[in-house]
Amino acid sequence: MLTIILTVVLGSSAHAGDTPAAKPKSQYNANLYEQEEKNTDKSFSAKVRIVRDISDDIEVMFEGDSVKGIYSLSRNRSNFAAMLKALEASKKADGGAVTVTADEDKNIKTVEAAKNTGRTFVPPTDPNKKWDFGKLAE
Protein backbone atom coordinates (compact mmCIF):
# COMPACT_ATOMS: atom_id res chain seq x y z
CA MET A 1 0.00 0.00 0.00
CA LEU A 2 2.82 2.36 0.86
CA THR A 3 4.46 1.65 -2.48
CA ILE A 4 1.31 2.64 -4.36
CA ILE A 5 1.04 5.95 -2.50
CA LEU A 6 4.73 6.70 -3.05
CA THR A 7 4.39 5.85 -6.74
CA VAL A 8 1.44 8.22 -7.17
CA VAL A 9 3.11 11.08 -5.27
CA LEU A 10 6.46 10.71 -7.00
CA GLY A 11 4.83 10.22 -10.39
CA SER A 12 2.74 13.37 -10.08
CA SER A 13 5.76 15.44 -9.05
CA ALA A 14 7.71 14.05 -12.00
CA HIS A 15 4.95 15.11 -14.41
CA ALA A 16 4.80 18.56 -12.87
CA GLY A 17 8.46 19.09 -13.72
CA ASP A 18 7.79 18.33 -17.40
CA THR A 19 6.07 21.67 -18.01
CA PRO A 20 7.89 23.67 -20.67
CA ALA A 21 9.96 26.46 -19.23
CA ALA A 22 9.32 30.03 -20.29
CA LYS A 23 11.25 31.12 -23.35
CA PRO A 24 14.35 33.06 -22.46
CA LYS A 25 14.04 36.76 -23.22
CA SER A 26 16.10 38.16 -26.02
CA GLN A 27 19.09 40.21 -25.04
CA TYR A 28 18.03 43.31 -26.98
CA ASN A 29 15.01 45.50 -26.41
CA ALA A 30 13.45 46.72 -29.65
CA ASN A 31 11.24 49.30 -27.90
CA LEU A 32 13.83 52.02 -27.55
CA TYR A 33 11.49 54.91 -28.29
CA GLU A 34 8.09 55.82 -26.94
CA GLN A 35 5.34 54.24 -28.95
CA GLU A 36 2.94 56.56 -30.72
CA GLU A 37 -0.56 56.75 -29.36
CA LYS A 38 -3.30 55.49 -31.59
CA ASN A 39 -5.52 58.20 -32.99
CA THR A 40 -8.98 57.44 -31.62
CA ASP A 41 -10.63 60.64 -32.81
CA LYS A 42 -14.00 60.32 -34.50
CA SER A 43 -14.98 62.70 -37.26
CA PHE A 44 -18.56 63.13 -38.45
CA SER A 45 -20.88 65.61 -40.08
CA ALA A 46 -24.30 66.29 -38.57
CA LYS A 47 -26.84 68.98 -37.82
CA VAL A 48 -27.01 70.30 -34.26
CA ARG A 49 -30.18 69.56 -32.29
CA ILE A 50 -29.48 71.01 -28.82
CA VAL A 51 -26.81 73.32 -27.38
CA ARG A 52 -26.88 73.61 -23.56
CA ASP A 53 -24.75 75.91 -21.44
CA ILE A 54 -23.45 74.03 -18.40
CA SER A 55 -21.13 75.66 -15.83
CA ASP A 56 -17.75 74.66 -17.30
CA ASP A 57 -18.75 73.14 -20.62
CA ILE A 58 -21.22 73.37 -23.45
CA GLU A 59 -23.23 70.20 -24.05
CA VAL A 60 -24.17 69.48 -27.65
CA MET A 61 -26.53 66.89 -29.13
CA PHE A 62 -26.66 66.09 -32.82
CA GLU A 63 -29.40 64.79 -35.11
CA GLY A 64 -29.06 61.32 -36.56
CA ASP A 65 -28.67 57.78 -35.32
CA SER A 66 -24.93 57.50 -35.93
CA VAL A 67 -23.98 60.21 -33.41
CA LYS A 68 -25.93 59.43 -30.26
CA GLY A 69 -25.20 60.92 -26.88
CA ILE A 70 -24.03 64.18 -25.41
CA TYR A 71 -20.80 65.74 -26.67
CA SER A 72 -19.05 68.39 -24.60
CA LEU A 73 -17.21 71.49 -25.74
CA SER A 74 -14.75 72.86 -23.19
CA ARG A 75 -14.50 76.60 -22.66
CA ASN A 76 -10.71 76.24 -22.45
CA ARG A 77 -10.35 75.68 -26.21
CA SER A 78 -8.38 78.33 -28.05
CA ASN A 79 -11.10 78.93 -30.67
CA PHE A 80 -14.10 78.32 -28.40
CA ALA A 81 -16.10 81.31 -29.66
CA ALA A 82 -15.80 80.33 -33.33
CA MET A 83 -16.79 76.73 -32.60
CA LEU A 84 -19.79 77.81 -30.51
CA LYS A 85 -20.88 80.21 -33.25
CA ALA A 86 -20.76 77.43 -35.86
CA LEU A 87 -22.76 75.11 -33.58
CA GLU A 88 -25.39 77.78 -32.90
CA ALA A 89 -25.69 78.53 -36.63
CA SER A 90 -26.26 74.84 -37.35
CA LYS A 91 -28.96 74.69 -34.68
CA LYS A 92 -31.17 77.15 -36.58
CA ALA A 93 -33.85 75.83 -38.92
CA ASP A 94 -32.03 76.96 -42.06
CA GLY A 95 -28.58 76.10 -40.69
CA GLY A 96 -26.46 73.48 -42.37
CA ALA A 97 -24.53 70.59 -40.95
CA VAL A 98 -21.22 70.97 -39.16
CA THR A 99 -18.16 68.74 -39.35
CA VAL A 100 -17.03 67.74 -35.86
CA THR A 101 -13.96 65.90 -34.61
CA ALA A 102 -14.29 64.38 -31.13
CA ASP A 103 -12.20 62.01 -29.04
CA GLU A 104 -13.38 58.71 -27.58
CA ASP A 105 -14.72 60.47 -24.45
CA LYS A 106 -16.99 62.66 -26.65
CA ASN A 107 -14.98 65.83 -26.05
CA ILE A 108 -15.23 68.07 -29.11
CA LYS A 109 -11.85 69.05 -30.55
CA THR A 110 -12.77 70.87 -33.77
CA VAL A 111 -15.94 72.23 -35.36
CA GLU A 112 -16.19 73.45 -38.94
CA ALA A 113 -19.21 74.61 -40.88
CA ALA A 114 -19.80 72.03 -43.61
CA LYS A 115 -19.38 73.47 -47.05
CA ASN A 116 -22.35 73.47 -49.38
CA THR A 117 -21.37 71.10 -52.17
CA GLY A 118 -24.45 71.61 -54.31
CA ARG A 119 -25.17 74.70 -56.31
CA THR A 120 -28.02 76.72 -54.92
CA PHE A 121 -30.45 78.02 -57.50
CA VAL A 122 -31.71 81.53 -56.95
CA PRO A 123 -34.44 82.60 -59.37
CA PRO A 124 -34.19 86.14 -60.71
CA THR A 125 -36.44 88.75 -59.15
CA ASP A 126 -37.43 90.15 -62.56
CA PRO A 127 -39.81 87.69 -64.31
CA ASN A 128 -38.69 88.93 -67.75
CA LYS A 129 -35.07 87.82 -67.24
CA LYS A 130 -33.91 84.43 -68.44
CA TRP A 131 -33.29 81.90 -65.76
CA ASP A 132 -29.81 80.45 -65.66
CA PHE A 133 -30.00 76.83 -64.54
CA GLY A 134 -26.28 76.30 -64.89
CA LYS A 135 -24.45 73.90 -67.16
CA LEU A 136 -26.36 70.74 -67.99
CA ALA A 137 -24.48 67.49 -67.55
CA GLU A 138 -24.25 65.38 -70.68
CA–CA distance, 100 with 73 (Å, rounded to integer):
11
The residues spanned by each domain of the chain are 42-113
What per-residue confidence (pLDDT) applies to 113? 87
Q: Are 86 and 111 in contact (CB under 8 A)?
A: yes
Q: Are 29 and 22 in contact (CB under 8 A)?
A: no
What per-residue confidence (pLDDT) applies to 28? 74
pLDDT tens digits, residue range 79-110? Answer: 999 999 999 999 988 888 999 999 999 999 99
What per-residue confidence (pLDDT) applies to 24? 63
What per-residue confidence (pLDDT) applies to 54? 87
What per-residue confidence (pLDDT) applies to 37? 74
Q: Which residues in the chain come in under a pLDDT of 70?
A: 2, 6, 11-26, 29, 115-124, 132-138
What per-residue confidence (pLDDT) applies to 96? 87
What per-residue confidence (pLDDT) applies to 95? 85
Q: Give the DSSP letter string of 54-72.
A: -SSEEEEEESSSSS-S-EE
Domain 42-113 = CATH 1.10.760.10:
no
